[in-house]
Amino acid sequence: MITRNELKKLARARLKETKTLFNDGLYDGTCYLAGYVVELALKARICKVLDLTEYLETGEISRSFKTHRLDDLVRLAGLHRKFEQAKMNNPNFLNNWAVISDWSEQFRYNPLGTSSEQLAREVIDALEDRNDGVFTWLKRHW
């Protein structure tokens, strides 16, 4: 099983990898991998809420967490109300979430060239904006 702290490390590593892909001009990969930064951060938060040292990968309960849907993970992480307040009170956070929430694990099937350099840059900025980034916000709660 994977621990909560390992999920945090993985989220940080996926962000670093996302930026490396961007720097190498691999914009489709940038946009695809970026969603996993948020997914892993939310799963670390789920462990915190449920007081689990390890993320549940097997068993009946684990089925609830085996989703890539970011909105569902926000709810499972117990952050829905705080998340909605943050979006209401902060237009920059709302905009950043709008960029990130379009993500799907199905991006892996997008034809090459689907994501532009501009979109990839917006995705990275939406994750790590110092004040209003989605990943920045999630790290305050995980």
Please report which helix (H) or strand (E) contains residue 14, including its range.
helix 4-23
pLDDT tens profile 23-78 = 999 999 999 999 999 999 999 999 899 888 777 665 666 666 667 789 999 999 99
Q: Which residues lie closer than 8 Å to 58 by C-beta, 6 or more apart?
A: none
Instruction: Please state whether the predicted TM-score (pTM) of the whole model is above 0.95.
Output: no
CA distance 94 to 102: 13
Tokens for 131?
């004040």
Q: Count Cβ neighbours within 10 Å for each residue of 53-81 and write b for 16 or more, e otherwise.
A: eebbeeeeeeeebeeeebeebbebbebee
Q: What are residue 57's phi and psi, to 5 degrees?
A: -110, -15
What are the boundaries of each domain within the chain?
2-139
Candidate from 4-8, 54-58, 128-132 with smallest mean pLDDT: 54-58
pLDDT tens profile 71-115 = 999 999 999 999 999 999 999 999 999 999 989 888 888 889 999
Q: Name the class of domain 2-139.
A: mainly alpha
